Chains A and B, each alone.
Chain A
Amino acid sequence: MTGAARSSLVLPVGLAITMLLAILSLRFGLRDIAWPEIWNALFAFDPMNADHITLRELRLSRVTAALIGGAALGLAGALMQAMTRNPLADPGLLGVNGGAAIGVVISIWILGASAQAALIAPALIGAGIAAVLVLVLGGAAHRSGPDPTRLVLAGAALSALFLALTWAVLLMSREALDVFRFWVLGGFTGISMTQVMAVLPVYAVGFPLAFLAARLLSPLILGDDAARALGVRVWLVRLICVGAVVLLCGATVSLAGPIAFVGLLVPHLVRPFTGVSIPKLALGSTILGACLATFADLAGRFLLPGREVEAGVVIAMIGGPALVILVRRRQEVPL
C-alpha cells in the first residue's frame, strides 16, 4: 500500500476504533450494562433503574472526559513537537502540570479541599498562572515571539520550581499528601458531567485555536527566516500555538490530573502515517490521543480484580514499552 493510501485510510479507521472503544466503555465495568439498557438509558431514561443511573451519572461523563482529554493531550503534543522542532517536547514542559499540581496542593493545604470536584478550579488557575509565567520568561513578548529552546528551558525550570514548592507543602501537610498522591496518578474515574461542563468552554476555545495553529505552523518547518520570507508573522503563530496548548492541557490536567505520555508518544506513533504535514499530524494525534485514553480507561477496569487501575497508570504501562519498540524500530532520530 502506498503512503498516501495508508494516510487516507488511517484517520477513518482510527476514528472507528475510538468510537468502538467508547461504546464498549459504556457497556463494561465493575457493573456490566446490557446493550438494550444502554439504548434505553440514553433515549428512554428511567430514573429508578440502577443501570440507567450508572450509565448517565458515571459512565457517560467518564467516557466523554476520556475522549476529550485524550484528544486534547494528543493534539497539544503534536503542536509542541512541531513548534519546538524537538521530539522530546511534551506539553508538560510548559509548566502546566506543575502549575496545576501546586494549585491543587495549596487548595488542599489552606482551604481543606478534598473532593475531586473542588480541585478543578485551583488546578486550572495554577496551570494558567504557570503558563503565563513560562510564556513571559520564554520570551513571548519579543519581536519574534517565544524562542522554542528558551521556552522549553523556562518551562523545565519553572516546572522544577513548582514541583519543589509542591513537595514542600506535601512534606508539611499530611492531608495534602494523602489527597495528592491519588490525584497525581491521573484518571477519569468519578468525573461527573458537571465537571466536564465546567471545563468545556476552555476546550471550546482551545480546540479550534489548536487546529488553526497547526495550519499556521506549516511554513515554520522551513525555519523562521524562510517563514518570514513567505509573509508569516512568526511571533503571532507561536503565540497562538502556545496559547492553544496551554488551554488544552490546562483543562485536561484540571479535569483528570496529570496524564503523562499521551502528548509525548502519540505524535511519534502518528508520524509514520501522516508524514511531515502538521495539520495531518495534528488531526491524527487528536484521534489517536482520544483512542489511547479511552482504551486505557476501559482496560483499567479489568486489570486488577475488584479494583480499578487509573487511566494514567495504564497509559504509562502501555506507553513505556510502546516507545521502546518505536524507538528500536526506527533509524536514528535527529535531535
Chain B
Amino acid sequence: MTTMTLRIGGFSTRLPTRLVLVNAVLVILLVAFAGQSLLAGTYPTSLADLQNALSGRADKITSMILLDHRLPRILTAIGVGLAFGLAGETIQTLLKNPLASPDIIGFSAGAGTGAVLTVVLLGTGTFVFLGAMLGGLTVAALILALSWKRGIAPGQLVLMGIGISLTVSVINDLLMTRFDVTEAAQIAKWLVGSLEARHWQDVSILWLGLACLGPLAFWFQFKLSRLALGDETATVLGVAVDPARMATLLLAIGLVALAVSVAGPLPFVAFVSGPIAHGLTRQPRPTLLCAALVGALVTLLADTASQSLPGGLTLPAGIFTALIGAPVLLWCLIVESRKRRG
C-alpha cells in the first residue's frame, strides 16, 4: 500500500493513497449528484439557467425553483449528512462498538419525545425543531450524567444509553396512541426525518454550526485515533484519556443536535457511514473525512430518491436513508468477510 507524505512548514501528515483516492472519488460523486439533483426534476433546468439565476437574469419561476427551493434543500442534505457521518464515526470509534451510534447516546429518541411533546403541549407544529433539540440534549445529558463515574466509562455509557433510549422510545410510542390518526401521521413524518421545504435560514444555521464543530472534530481525530488503541496505551502515549473522551463525546452530541434539529433523526446515516468508510478505505478507524463524505452522499441520494417516486407519491427522506444505507453496509460486510476468509 503506497502512501503520500505532505509537509508544508509546520504542517505534516501521512496519507495512504487509497484513502486519498476514496475521498476524491466520494467528493466527485457528491458534486455530480448535487448537480444532477439541482438541475433535474419535474421542472428541468440547464446549466445556463443556473448561471442566469445566480446573476439575477433568469425568470422568476426558474430562479425560485433553483435558488429558493432546490439549492437550500441540497445544501441541507449535504450538511446534515456530513454532521451525522462525523458524529457516527466519532462515537463508534470512541466506544469501540459497531452497534454504537448517536441513537445510543439517546439523542434520536430524546429528540422524538421533545418533538411529540411540543405538539401535545403547544398544539402546533411550529416549534417542533426547538422541542427536538431540547429533548435530545436533555436525554443525552441524562445519560452522560448517569454513566459518569470518575470519568466516562464507555461500557457503562453504552448500556445506559441503550436502556434509556429504549424507555424513551416506548414513551414516544405511547404518546403516539394519544393523538387522532391524522396528527399521528404528521408526527410520524417528523419522527422519520425529512428534508422537505428547507429554507436558507436552515442552511445558514446548519453550515454555521458545521463551520464551528467540523474543524474541532478533525482536531480531535488525533486524540481519538490514540483512544482507539485502548485507555492504557493512550495514557502511555500522553493523551489525557478522560478529558479527550468527554470532549469528543460532547462534540459528537453537538453535531447530532445540529443535524437532528434541522432534518429530524434521519435513521441510519450516522450508524452506517463509519462502517462503509472503513470498508472502502481499509484504514484503521477513525477515518472522519471519509465517513462524513459517505454520510453526505447517502443523505443526498436519499433525498433525491424521496422526490423521484412514481405516481406523484412523496415519502420523507428518512425512509430512504435506511433503504440506501442498509444494502451498502451489507455489501461491505460480505466483501470484508470474503477477504478475511479467502
Name A residues whose Cβ lies closer than 8 Å to a Cβ of B: 86-88, 93, 137, 139, 142-143, 147, 149-150, 152-154, 156-158, 160-161, 163-165, 167-168, 170-172, 174, 177-178, 181-182, 184-185, 260-261, 264-265, 268, 312-313, 316-317, 319-321, 323-324, 327-328, 330, 332-335
Given A152-B99, A160-B268, residue A168 in contact with residue B315 (CB < 8 A): yes
- Is A177 in contact with B319, judged by CB distance below 8 angstroms? no
Cβ distance A15 to chain B, nearest Cβ, rounded Å: 26
Q: How long is the Cα–Cα vector from A323 to B143 in the complex, in angstroms? A: 12
- Is B323 in contact with A181, judged by CB distance below 8 angstroms? no
Query: Which A residues touch B149, using CB under 8 A?
Result: 328
Q: How long is the Cα–Cα vector from A291 to B167 in the complex, in angstroms? A: 19
- Is B160 in contact with A323, judged by CB distance below 8 angstroms? yes
Given A142-B341, A157-B330, residue A333 in contact with residue B156 (CB < 8 A): yes
Given A88-B158, A153-B333, A160-B268, residue A181 in contact with residue B167 (CB < 8 A): no
Can you give 21 contacting A-B residue pairs, CB < 8 Å? A86-B99, A88-B99, A137-B330, A152-B99, A156-B99, A157-B272, A157-B325, A157-B326, A164-B321, A165-B319, A171-B192, A174-B182, A177-B181, A177-B184, A181-B184, A319-B166, A323-B160, A324-B160, A324-B164, A327-B156, A327-B163
Q: How long is the Cα–Cα vector from A282 to B241 in the complex, in angstroms? A: 37
Query: Which B residues touch A165, using CB under 8 A?
Result: 319, 323
Q: How long is the Cα–Cα vector from A323 to B146 in the complex, in angstroms? A: 11
Given A88-B158, A164-B323, A328-B146, residue A150 in contact with residue B333 (CB < 8 A): yes
How many A-B pairs have beta carbons closer than 8 Å: the answer is 162
Query: B97 at the A/B interface (Cβ < 8 Å)?
Result: yes
- Is B337 in contact with A335, judged by CB distance below 8 angstroms? no
Q: How long is the Cα–Cα vector from A291 to B185 in the complex, in angstroms? A: 36
By secondary structure, the B interface counts as helix
Given A149-B98, A164-B319, A319-B166, residue A158 in contact with residue B326 (CB < 8 A): yes
Given A88-B97, A153-B98, A172-B313, residue A312 in contact with residue B170 (CB < 8 A): yes
Query: B72 at the A/B interface (Cβ < 8 Å)?
Result: no
- Is A185 in contact with B174, judged by CB distance below 8 angstroms? yes
Given A137-B333, A316-B166, residue A160 in contact with residue B181 (CB < 8 A): no
- Is B322 in contact with A327, judged by CB distance below 8 angstroms? no
Tell me the B169-214 residues at the A interface (CB within 8 Å): 169-171, 173-174, 176-177, 181-182, 184-185, 188-189, 192
- Is B170 in contact with A316, judged by CB distance below 8 angstroms? yes
Query: Which B residues touch A154, using CB under 8 A?
Result: 330, 333
Query: Which B residues touch A88, using CB under 8 A?
Result: 97, 99, 158-159, 162
Query: Which B residues touch A87, using CB under 8 A?
Result: 155, 159
- Is A157 in contact with B181, judged by CB distance below 8 angstroms? no
Query: B318 at the A/B interface (Cβ < 8 Å)?
Result: yes
Q: In chain B, what residue has the closest Cβ to A84?
A: B99
Query: B118 at the A/B interface (Cβ < 8 Å)?
Result: no
- Is A327 in contact with B320, judged by CB distance below 8 angstroms? no
Query: Which A residues touch B167, using CB under 8 A?
Result: 316-317, 319-321
Query: B114 at the A/B interface (Cβ < 8 Å)?
Result: no
Smallest CB-CB A-B distances: 10 pairs: A320-B167, A323-B163, A316-B170, A164-B322, A333-B155, A161-B326, A157-B326, A160-B322, A157-B329, A178-B181
- Is A161 in contact with B185, judged by CB distance below 8 angstroms? no
Q: In chain B, what residue has the closest Cβ to A133?
A: B330
Chain B interface residue bracket vs A: 35 or more
- Is A335 in contact with B97, judged by CB distance below 8 angstroms? yes
Cβ distance A169 to chain B, nearest Cβ, rounded Å: 10
Q: How long is the Cα–Cα vector from A274 to B3 in the complex, in angstroms? A: 52
Query: Which A residues touch B147, using CB under 8 A?
Result: 327-328
Q: In chain B, what residue has the closest Cβ to A320?
A: B167
Q: In chain B, what residue has the closest Cβ to A179?
A: B181
Given A88-B159, A156-B99, residue A261 in contact with residue B323 (CB < 8 A): no
Query: Which B residues touch A171, using CB under 8 A?
Result: 185, 188-189, 192, 315-316, 319
Query: Which A residues touch B271, using CB under 8 A?
Result: 156, 160
- Is A181 in contact with B97, judged by CB distance below 8 angstroms? no
Cβ distance B211 to chain A, nearest Cβ, rounded Å: 30
Q: How long is the Cα–Cα vector from A158 to B176 in the complex, in angstroms? A: 24
Q: Which of A137, A163, A264, A317 contacts B322 (CB 8 A)?
A: A163
Q: How long is the Cα–Cα vector from A265 to B166 in the complex, in angstroms? A: 11
Residue among A93, A153, A177, A330 with max Cβ neighbours from chain B (10 Å):
A153
Q: In chain A, what residue has the closest Cβ to B157?
A: A327
Q: Which of B155, B166, B321 contacts A332 (CB 8 A)?
A: B155
Query: B125 at the A/B interface (Cβ < 8 Å)?
Result: no
Given A149-B98, A174-B181, residue A161 in contact with residue B188 (CB < 8 A): no
Q: How long is the Cα–Cα vector from A333 to B159 in the complex, in angstroms? A: 9
Tell me the B134-162 residues at the A interface (CB within 8 Å): 146-147, 149, 153-156, 158-160, 162
Q: Which of B155, B171, B267 contacts A334 (CB 8 A)?
A: B155
